C-alpha cells in the first residue's frame, strides 16, 4: 500500500508538470495562429491606404503639371502674337519713314546703304593710313636721330684718337696727314686748320699757312690761336702791320699766348717794331 502511494506520488510530481507544460505550449501555439491573420490584415490595410495616397498624390502632380504646361503654352502664344505684331508695326513704321525720306524702293535702300558703308570705310582707311604714315615718319626720324648720334659718337672718338696720334708725331708732314683725316670727318673745326697751319709753318709754307689761318678765322672768329698763326705767317712774309694787328687780336682773345711771344722764332722780323716791343714789355 505504501509502495503504491509512493508510485502515484512520483507520477504526480513528474508526469503532471510535463503535461501542464505541454498544454500551455499548445495554448500559446493556438494563440499565435489566431493572431497571425490579424497582423497580416493590418499590414494589407496599411499598404492599401499607402497606395491610395500615392495615387492621389500622382494625380495632383499630373494635374498641376498639365495646368503649368497650359499656362506656358498660353504665355508663349501671347508672346509670339505680341512679337509678330510689334515686328509688323516696326516694319510699317520703317516703311513709312523710308517712303517719307524719299527711298521708294529696296534698290534705293541698298544703294544708299552701300554708299554710306563705303564712305565710312574710306574714312576709316584714310584715317588709318594717316596715322600709319605719321607713325612711320616718327619712327624714321627717330631712327635717323639715333644713327646721327651714333655717327657723332663714333666721329668724336675717332677724332680724339687722331688728335692723340698727332701729339705723338714729330714729323710735320705726318701731323698734316693726320689733320687732313680730321678735316675729312669734320670740315668745320677751326682748331684743326690752325694746328695744320702751325705744321705748315714748320715746312716753310707760309702762304699755305696764311690760307689755313684765314679758313680757321672764317669758321670761328673768336679763336685766338688762329690769329696767332696768321700773325706768324704775316711776320715771315714781311707784312709787319698785319702781323702786329693779328698778334694784338690773338692776345686779346687768348691772353695766355702773351707768354709765348718771346720764344716764337717767326717773330724775328718784328723785334724792331715799336708796337711789338710793347707786347714784350
Among 80, 102, 124, the domain boundary falls at 102
Whether residue 79 lies inside any domain: the answer is yes
Whether residue 65 lies inside any domain: the answer is yes
Confidence category of residue 6, pLDDT binned at 50, 70, 90: low
User: Which pLDDT does position 106 carry in this prediction?
Assistant: 61
Q: Are 205 and 213 in contact (CB under 8 A)?
A: no
CA 64 from chain centre, in angstroms, equals 62
Provide the 3-class DSSP secondary structure of residue 163.
helix
Q: State the pTM of this model.
A: 0.49
CATH number at residue 181: 1.25.40.10
Q: How many domains does the chain have?
A: 2
Residues 169-187: tens digit of each pLDDT: 778 888 888 888 888 888 8
Residues 90-103: tens digit of each pLDDT: 777 766 665 655 55
The overall longest dimension of the chain from CA atoms, in Å, is: 203
Phi, psi of 76 (to 5 degrees): -65, -40
Residues 221-256: tens digit of each pLDDT: 888 888 888 888 888 888 888 888 888 888 888 888
Residue showing cell 705767317: 233
CA 196 from chain centre, in angstroms, equals 53
Give the whole-angstrom CA distance, residue 184 versus residue 176. Answer: 12
Q: What angle do CA 169, 174, 180 make, to 5 degrees?
A: 120
Give the whole-angstrom CA distance, residue 192 versus residue 212. Answer: 9
Q: Domain range for residue 47?
A: 28-102
Task: Say how many Å lie between the first and final Cα of the chain, rounded.
Answer: 194
Among 83, 102, 121, the domain boundary falls at 102
Q: Quick one: which of 123, 91, 85, 89 has its CA closest to 109?
A: 91
Whether residue 75 lies inside any domain: the answer is yes
Based on the domain organization, do 96 and 199 belong to the same domain? no
Based on the domain organization, do 193 and 90 belong to the same domain? no
Provide the 3-class DSSP secondary structure of residue 220.
coil
Whether residue 185 lies inside any domain: the answer is yes
Whether residue 147 lies inside any domain: the answer is no
Whether residue 264 lies inside any domain: the answer is yes
Give the whole-angstrom CA distance, residue 47 versus residue 167. Answer: 125
C-alpha cell read off for 165 = 696720334
Mean per-residue pLDDT over the chain, rounded: 76
Residues 139-159: tens digit of each pLDDT: 888 888 888 888 778 878 888
Amino acid at each position: 500500500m505504501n509502495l503504491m502511494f509512493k508510485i502515484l506520488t512520483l507520477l504526480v510530481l513528474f508526469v503532471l508538470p510535463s503535461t501542464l507544460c505541454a498544454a500551455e505550449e499548445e495554448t500559446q501555439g493556438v494563440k499565435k495562429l489566431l493572431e497571425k491573420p490579424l497582423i497580416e490584415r493590418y499590414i494589407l490595410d496599411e499598404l492599401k491606404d499607402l497606395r491610395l495616397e500615392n495615387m492621389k498624390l500622382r494625380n495632383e502632380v499630373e494635374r498641376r503639371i498639365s495646368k503649368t504646361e497650359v499656362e506656358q503654352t498660353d504665355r508663349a502664344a501671347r508672346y509670339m502674337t505680341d512679337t509678330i505684331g510689334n515686328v509688323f508695326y516696326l516694319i510699317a513704321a520703317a516703311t513709312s519713314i523710308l517712303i517719307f525720306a524719299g527711298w521708294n524702293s529696296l534698290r534705293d535702300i541698298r544703294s544708299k546703304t552701300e554708299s554710306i558703308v563705303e564712305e565710312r570705310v574710306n574714312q576709316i582707311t584714310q584715317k588709318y593710313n594717316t596715322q600709319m604714315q605719321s607713325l612711320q615718319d616718327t619712327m624714321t626720324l627717330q631712327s635717323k636721330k639715333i644713327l646721327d648720334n651714333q655717327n657723332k659718337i663714333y666721329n668724336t672718338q675717332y677724332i680724339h684718337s687722331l688728335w692723340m696720334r698727332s701729339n705723338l708725331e714729330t714729323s710735320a708732314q705726318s701731323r698734316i696727314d693726320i689733320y687732313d683725316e680730321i678735316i675729312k670727318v669734320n670740315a668745320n673745326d677751326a682748331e684743326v686748320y690752325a694746328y695744320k697751319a702751325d705744321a705748315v709753318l714748320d715746312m716753310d709754307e707760309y702762304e699755305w699757312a696764311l690760307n689755313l689761318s684765314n679758313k680757321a678765322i672764317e669758321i670761328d672768329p673768336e679763336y685766338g690761336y688762329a690769329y696767332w698763326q696768321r700773325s706768324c705767317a704775316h711776320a715771315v712774309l714781311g707784312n709787319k702791320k698785319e702781323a702786329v694787328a693779328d698778334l694784338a687780336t690773338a692776345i686779346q682773345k687768348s691772353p695766355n699766348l702773351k707768354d709765348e711771344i718771346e720764344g716764337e722764332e717767326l717773330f724775328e722780323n718784328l723785334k724792331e717794331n715799336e708796337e711789338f716791343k710793347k707786347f714784350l714789355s
